[in-house]
Amino acid sequence: MIDLSPLRGSRFAVLGLARSGLAAARALRDAQVEFAAWDDDATKRAQAQHQGFALADPTTLDWNRWDALVLSPGIPHSFPQPHAAAAAAKAAGKPVIGDIELLARSAPAARIVGVTGTNGKSTTTALIGHILKTAGVEREVGGNLGPAALDFRPLRADGVYVLELSSFQLELVPSLRCHAAVWLNITPDHIDRHGDLAGYIAAKRHIFDNQRAGDVAVIGIDDAESRRVAEQLTGGTRSVVTVTVGDARAAGIRVVDGRLTDGTSDAAIDLRPIKTLPGAHNWQNAACAFAACRALGLTAGAIGRGLASYPGLAHRQERVAVVDGVVYVNDSKATNADATAKALAAYGAIYWLVGGTPKAEGIAPLAPLFGHVVHAFLMGKSSDAFAATLEGKLPYTLCGDLKTALKAAHAMARHDHRADAVVLLSPACASYDQWPNFEARGDAFRAMARALPGAVIEAGGGA
């Protein structure tokens, strides 16, 4: 657990007692820093009280006597409607911060890599952590992914904290300094929280706010908004390293036909044989991880060895089994069309398990990739709407649920004997109609695929 004793003498109110809020409360308690905890859910309050945390409703506090509100990132503090506690703190001139800000304040000299973007954050964060581990660098990995930041082990001066940072978290870190700040890409997301795309981009840009001379901004420039951000940052005190996939003439780091090239060292790494990094989107993740690790002083050879041994992440194009040459891939994390597009582009003969609680865009944006799909197996609440989208464009079967869809896809793939066949769970939907979360959905798919007769178990994922 991070030592917050440098913050003694301050008083904090902690609002929201899920993963990050509970970690903050534990760390403050263990460091003997005065705080009060609260959650609007009575059950969570009771659990916190059972753990010995002092409770106080932050909407009723005299904010002249408190130093900051530590807010869980899922709670709105400005748009669309600020929580009453956030409004009260701001009215008193007190900052609204997150748990990662407590890490930044307690360890201002720590080496930190921050990773943000709309897609690929988790893979890139985990990939950087894996490369550092294989190179013998002490590191802790988490934030939006994995453990909360305050549950990290304290590291020595040469260690590295690798943080996945969402837009919600980045709005709550006024003093966080990222020695290497990675910006992968931007597509519209969380508009209900940020108001519009400009608000979303502004939140993401906080990752660069406190960089200094010698720090590095790594920016994927394969979309127009990200190119604009790179142009705006170029010429400052930090170094800007651009990353692109497919443009052989581009400066910076580029991947062309699966071959990663570092323009400054002429190092080259062939990414195509790495099963856990399939597709152009994963090549972008790998190239950004390469750039961040170079910024930390690793050699191209050490990074290449780390990339080659990367085991992948669960639910991100995770290869879970092979049956008679057909690969079964768990991409349950793909909860919108943009994420599913990455998976559809990565394979050529897909038996597609799709559906659940639909997002507003549905699957219509995926039409240019329907040629990669042999047959679609529709499940969940979205089935009728998706059937209407696919009518006349792609053969489909209404299956109802995941078990039925997998059984039908398995039978058809075995019958067809297509080369490079993939049974792909990439739902383009949230899971809440039939599953508590995407992890439960993916775990079920993995277990069912591995239970198929003749299944050879594979370990390792992707996006």
Strands 68-71 and 34-38: unpaired
Contact 287, 326 (CB under 8 A): no
* CA dist., res. 463 & res. 275, Å (int): 11
Residues 341, 426: contact at Cβ < 8 Å? no
Q: Which one of the listed residues 190, 275, 375, 381 is annotated catalytic? A: 190
| 64 catalytically annotated | no
**SS3 string of 303-348?**
HHHHHHCCCCCCCCCEEEEEECCEEEEECCCCCCHHHHHHHHHHCC
Q: Is 317 in contact with 331 (CB distance < 8 Å)?
A: yes
- Strands 239-245, 216-220: pairing is parallel
Given the residues 121, 130, 179, 333, the one annotated as active site: 121
Number of CB atoms found within 10 A of residue 105's CB:
18
Amino acid in the structure at residue 105: R
Name the residue among 229, 224, 303 with its Cα closest to residue 262. 303
Cα separation, 250 vs 420, whole angstroms: 32
User: Residue 121 catalytic?
Assistant: yes
Closest by CA to 356, choosing from 411, 413, 437, 422, is 437
Check if 144 is active-site.
yes
Annotated catalytic residue, options 83, 94, 144, 333 = 144
Identify the CA nearest to 178 among candidates 101, 122, 123: 101
Catalytic residues: 121, 144, 190
